[in-house]
Amino acid sequence: MRSFKFFAMIVSTLVFLAACGESGPKKVTIQPVGNEMKYATTEFTVKAGEQVTLIMDNVATSPAMIHNVVVLKPGTDVDAFAQACLAAGESAGYFADDPNVVAHVPLAKPGKKTQVTFTAPTEKGDYMYICTYPGHYVLMRGTMHVQ
Ligand SMILES: [Cu+2]
């Protein structure tokens, strides 16, 4: 009887772990192209309303190549937003909160990883993402497709 209880406990634990594996947030990793001011991952797709863990895996080695990822709603004035981030300054991680921000992965220094977990928008469409580190947003851009 006792061994049956133990066995049942093991099985329920395994079932629980398997369920967690399936229902955890979808992981999306974004890397730059070496020491270039470019994302290697320029697009990815998520389902509307799903949980997403977005990761900046900064594989750069040059000290100037610090990157983040900020996902914006369609129709955002990207230039104005990037200017606000620049004005927010280094202490704010070159990020200015704004109603148009869908997700914000903090700055990652070379060789580091940062991440954020968020709920994908329920509205389908194409969402631009940029790096708001000074001077990067013009070249560091990508698209998150919400389907
Ligand atoms: Cu950058």
CA 131 to centroid of ligand 1, rounded, Å:
5
pLDDT digits (tens, 9 = 90+) for 47-64: 999 999 999 999 999 999
For the chain, the domains span: 25-146
Residues by chain with Cβ below 5 Å of ion ligand 1:
67, 131, 133, 136, 140
CA 146 to centroid of ligand 1, rounded, Å:
23
pLDDT digits (tens, 9 = 90+) for 94-114: 999 999 999 999 999 999 999
For residue 23, what pLDDT band results from cuts at 50, 70 and 90?
confident
Q: Name the CATH superfamily, with its identifier, for domain 25-146.
A: Cupredoxins -  blue copper proteins (2.60.40.420)
CA 46 to centroid of ligand 1, rounded, Å:
22
Longest CA–CA span in the chain (Å) reads 69
Indicate the pTM of the whole model: 0.85
* Rounded Cα gap, residues 106 and 92, in angstroms: 10
Report whether pLDDT(19) > 60. Answer: no
CA-wise closest residue to 122 among 55, 56, 49? 49
User: For residue 79, what pLDDT is reported?
Assistant: 97
What percent of the chain has a predicted confidence (pLDDT) above 70? Answer: 85
Q: How many CB atoms lie within 10 A of CB 96?
A: 18
Between 11 and 100, the higher pLDDT residue: 100
Structural contact between residues 63 and 133, judged by C-beta atoms closer than 8 angstroms: no
- At CB < 8 A and 24+ separation, what contacts does 19-24 make? 24/51
What integer is the mean pLDDT of 104-132?
Answer: 98
**How would you class 126 by CB atoms within 10 Å of its CB: exposed for 0-12, middle for 13-18, buried for 19 or more?**
exposed
User: For residue 48, what pLDDT is reported?
Assistant: 98
